[in-house]
């Protein structure tokens, strides 16, 4: 299995000399399975440089899995060049929106409206298919199995587990561990805690033992109280999650757009110093890095 | 009912529920509360679960096939943990603002009295689950109490004239309401509510309590027991109106399983009336 990071920034692209080492593009991961299938996790602005590398491999069939529909995870989709070229195929997978009832097709349709983009959906020459996913129901991509897992974010967000030839990866998309809305003295506190633990257990079960975990570590513990409820994890919650799920290697991603390379490395070192167990390798996700296992 | 009629009736009922209006004050509360970006999740849950229509619509959606959840969602809190605060908040806003039919009201069962009965049963069922059966999942019992008579709200909205006749006849003859519902409509409100809940894939325990709370017995589930007993207790306390003139007995097995008789339970529920009044204020302006 091969994984390459094309976008590791959260919220908004952040180009410039101070983010050059880790990169300024928003979320996009490229995965090639052992039997040669192309899986793309999220279509943030990182999908544009990825698209350039696919031109020489065309025709391609890209399986694009969307974790959720926020801008930083879909913004590059209209710039995914293979969509314009006949002979290519793209299958776009993701959740329905429970509020509007709209399917995953909307993430491209909305962006290709006349007022926002010069090309209409009907003018795209690749064959495009959409698959609305349901929690826990795996889809097969060649020999790989991709399983959506409902995480916690201000919109429905699927984490994805990919299993292929005995190798595995889990990407959280954007995820904040659920917290109790009740105070300890409230009657409902214990009941709510039980529901949270059930949910956390089910996420951990799905994540358990993967070779590679890519997780949303937007904030430091100090920053988190002011950002509670925004739907993102911290360095510490990600490390804890990786230890609990006994993963082999953890990549921290969704770097804060205001955090430059130096600051990112500084907060990362600080969080590593706090580790009490040394169960897995931990790295900051970095644009362009290839992981092969 | 023939199978065909059953299917047709079911389809019409289900379509009808889509456009059933939520209670006006809960709509107002949801809109004003959610205009504040820091709206309290606890308060949001409180408003949603004080409105049987809104609660039913949220549970319907969360349990619907497109989530394919491995676990049935039986309470608003559970929906919140599964889908997250912002999604539940936006679901509530969309339910509050959906184009709905004008609310039907019949003097035989005013919606404000029906709401009081539903809220009181909800609150009582929760108390029984928590304080008498010592169950941890007592919120599920609140919801079961809140929705046990959902079928009546549907009948009032769907067939106001016929249902008014049914209610009148039950009152005049002092007969159990389900019996008259069967005679005049061919289906009880309990069965209609359960049928809808079933088609929306609500949790089996909740469906069972909606269907069987009218025939609660020794072997009924804890949820059916708390709802049936709560139903009897709130009727004995004259809280609201369920439209059923027949106050079911507080039977021996209820006393045995709950470890208390009717008086014992009422004695511990001094605050119930105020509690219900507060909840009712959240969803419906006082007339």
Q: Check CB contact under 8 Å for B137 and A196.
A: no
The neighbouring-strand residues paired with A280 are none
Which residue of chain A has the CA closest to B69?
A135
Q: How many CB atoms lie within 10 A of CB B215?
A: 12
Query: Tens digit of pLDDT per residue, chain B (287 long)?
Result: 455 556 777 777 777 787 888 888 889 999 999 998 889 999 999 999 999 999 999 999 888 866 665 558 999 999 999 999 999 999 999 998 886 778 888 999 998 889 999 999 999 999 999 999 999 889 999 999 999 999 999 999 888 999 999 999 999 998 889 999 999 999 999 999 999 998 888 999 999 999 999 999 999 999 999 999 999 999 888 888 888 877 678 999 999 999 999 999 998 887 888 888 888 777 665 33
pTM of the model: 0.92
> Which of A3-17, A79-93, A268-282, B200-214 bottoms out in mean pLDDT, i.e. has the lowest?
A268-282
Domain residue spans of chain A: 2-292
Q: Check CB contact under 8 Å for A98 and B78.
A: no
B221 contacts B205 by C-beta, under 8 angstroms: yes
The CATH number of B3-97, from 3.10.150.10, 1.10.3210.10, 1.10.287.130, 1.10.10.10, is 1.10.3210.10
A152 touches chain B (CB under 8 A): yes
Mark residue A283 as left, alpha or beta (left: phi above 0; alpha: psi -120 to 50; beta: remaining): beta
Sequence length of chain B is 287
Q: Check CB contact under 8 Å for A196 and B81.
A: yes
When CB atoms are compared, the residue of B65, B85, B94 closest to A229 is B85
Q: Tens digits of per-residue pLDDT, A203-214?
A: 999 999 999 999
Helix (H) or strand (E) holding B127: helix B111-127
Answer positive or negative: Cα dihedral of B167, B172, B177, B181: negative
> Which of A142-146, A255-259, B192-196, B223-227 bottoms out in mean pLDDT, i.e. has the lowest?
B192-196
Q: How far apart are the first and last CA of chain A?
A: 6
Q: Check CB contact under 8 Å for B68 and A134.
A: yes
The minimum CA-CA distance between A80 and chain B, rounded to whole Å, is 28
A22 contacts A8 by C-beta, under 8 angstroms: yes
B137 touches chain A (CB under 8 A): yes
Domain residue spans of chain B: 3-97, 111-282
B68 touches chain A (CB under 8 A): yes
Q: How many CB atoms lie within 10 A of CB B71?
A: 13
CATH number of B111-282: 1.10.3210.10
- Per-residue confidence (pLDDT) for residue A249, from 0 to 100: 97
Give chain A's mean pLDDT. 96
Q: Tens digits of per-residue pLDDT, A9-54?
A: 999 999 999 999 999 999 999 999 999 999 999 999 999 999 999 9
Instruction: Of A237, A106, A83, A250, give the one whose Cα is nearest residue A169.
Output: A250
When CB atoms are compared, the residue of A153, A191, A196 closest to B138 is A191
B91 touches chain A (CB under 8 A): yes
Give the span between the Cα atoms of B29 and B49, in whole angstroms: 12
Contacts of A181 in chain B (CB under 8 A): 41-42, 45, 80, 85
State percent of chain B over pLDDT 70: 93
Give the span between the Cα atoms of B71 and B55, in whole angstroms: 18
- Per-residue confidence (pLDDT) for residue A18, from 0 to 100: 97
The minimum CA-CA distance between B241 and chain A, rounded to whole Å, is 28
A162 contacts B94 by C-beta, under 8 angstroms: no
- Per-residue confidence (pLDDT) for residue B65, from 0 to 100: 67
A103 touches chain B (CB under 8 A): no
Give the span between the Cα atoms of B240 and B228, in whole angstroms: 16
How sure is the predictor about A276, in pLDDT bands with cuts at 50, 70 and 90?
confident
Give the span between the Cα atoms of B78 and B8, in whole angstroms: 32
The neighbouring-strand residues paired with A32 are A2, A38
Q: How far is CA B216 from CA A41, A205, B118, B224, B242, in A?
A: 52, 39, 18, 7, 17
When CB atoms are compared, the residue of A99, A192, A231 closest to B94 is A99
B37 touches chain A (CB under 8 A): no
Q: Check CB contact under 8 Å for B84 and A152.
A: yes
Dihedrals φ, ψ of A93, to 5°? Answer: -115, 145
A204 touches chain B (CB under 8 A): no
DSSP category for residue A69 = -
Superfamily, domain A2-292: Ribonuclease Z/Hydroxyacylglutathione hydrolase-like (3.60.15.10)
- Per-residue confidence (pLDDT) for residue A59, from 0 to 100: 97
B85 touches chain A (CB under 8 A): yes
Which residue of chain B has the CA closest to A175?
B84
B273 touches chain A (CB under 8 A): no
DSSP category for residue B214 = G
Q: Is A207 exposed, middle or buried (0-12, 13-18, 19+ CB in 10 A)?
A: buried
When CB atoms are compared, the residue of B69, B77, B83 closest to A192 is B77
Q: Say yes or no: do domains B3-97 and B111-282 share a fold.
A: yes
Give the span between the Cα atoms of A241 and A216, in whole angstroms: 11
> Which of A210-219, A234-243, B153-162 bottoms out in mean pLDDT, i.e. has the lowest?
B153-162
- Per-residue confidence (pLDDT) for residue B69, from 0 to 100: 55
């Amino acid at each position: 299995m091969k994984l390459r990071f094309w976008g590791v920034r959260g919220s908004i692209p952040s180009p410039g000399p101070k983010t050059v080492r880790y990169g300024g593009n928003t979320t996009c991961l490229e995965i090639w399975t052992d039997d040669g299938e192309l899986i793309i996790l999220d279509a943030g602005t990182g999908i544009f440089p990825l698209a350039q590398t696919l031109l020489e491999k065309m025709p391609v069939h890209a399986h694009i899995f969307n974790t959720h529909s926020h801008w930083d995870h879909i913004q590059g989709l209209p710039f995914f060049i293979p969509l314009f070229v006949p002979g290519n195929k793209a299958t776009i997978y993701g959740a329905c929106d429970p509020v509007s009832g709209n399917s995953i097709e909307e993430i491209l349709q909305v962006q290709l409206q006349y007022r926002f983009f010069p090309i209409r959906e009907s003018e795209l020459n690749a064959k495009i298919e959409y698959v609305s996913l349901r929690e826990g129901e795996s889809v097969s991509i060649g020999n790989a199995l991709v399983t959506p897992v409902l995480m916690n974010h201000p919109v429905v967000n699927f984490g994805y587990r990919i299993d292929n030839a005995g190798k595995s990866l889990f990407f959280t998309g954007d995820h904040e561990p659920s917290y109790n809305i009740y105070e300890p003295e409230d009657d409902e506190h214990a009941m709510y805690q039980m529901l949270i633990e059930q949910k956390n257990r089910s996420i951990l079960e799905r994540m358990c033992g993967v070779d590679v975990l890519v997780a949303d570590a937007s904030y430091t513990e100090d920053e988190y109280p002011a950002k509670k409820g925004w739907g993102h994890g911290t360095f510490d919650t990600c490390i804890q999650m990786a230890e609990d799920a006994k993963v082999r290697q953890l990549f921290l991603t969704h770097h804060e757009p205001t955090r430059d390379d130096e600051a990112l490395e500084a907060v990362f070192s600080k969080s590593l110093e706090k580790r009490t167990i040394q169960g897995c390798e931990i790295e900051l996700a970095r644009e362009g890095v290839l992981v092969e296992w | 009912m023939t199978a065909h009629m059953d299917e047709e009736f079911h389809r019409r009922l289900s379509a009808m529920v889509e456009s059933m209006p939520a209670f006006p004050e809960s709509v107002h509360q949801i809109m004003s509360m959610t205009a504040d970006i820091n709206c309290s999740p606890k308060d949001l849950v409180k408003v949603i679960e004080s409105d049987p229509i809104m609660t039913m619509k949220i549970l319907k959606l969360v349990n619907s096939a497109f989530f394919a959840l491995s676990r049935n969602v039986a309470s608003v809190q559970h929906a919140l943990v599964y889908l997250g605060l912002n999604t539940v908040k936006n679901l509530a806003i969309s339910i509050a603002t959906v184009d709905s039919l004008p609310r039907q009201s019949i003097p035989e069962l005013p919606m404000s009295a029906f709401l009081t009965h539903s809220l009181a049963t909800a609150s009582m069922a929760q108390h029984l689950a928590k304080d008498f059966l010592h169950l941890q999942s007592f919120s599920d019992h609140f919801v079961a109490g809140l929705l046990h008579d959902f079928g009546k709200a549907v009948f009032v909205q769907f067939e106001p004239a016929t249902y008014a006749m049914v209610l009148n006849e039950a009152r005049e003859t002092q007969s159990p309401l389900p019996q008259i519902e069967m005679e005049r409509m061919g289906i009880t409100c309990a069965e209609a509510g359960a049928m809808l809940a079933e088609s929306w894939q609500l949790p089996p325990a909740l469906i069972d309590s909606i269907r069987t709370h009218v025939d609660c017995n020794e072997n009924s589930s804890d949820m059916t027991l708390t709802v049936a007993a709560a139903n009897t207790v709130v009727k004995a306390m004259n809280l609201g109106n369920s439209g059923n003139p027949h106050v079911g007995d507080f039977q021996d097995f209820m006393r045995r399983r709950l470890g208390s008789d009717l008086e014992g339970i009422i004695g511990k529920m001094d605050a119930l009336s105020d509690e219900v009044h507060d909840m009712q204020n959240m969803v419906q302006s006082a007339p």
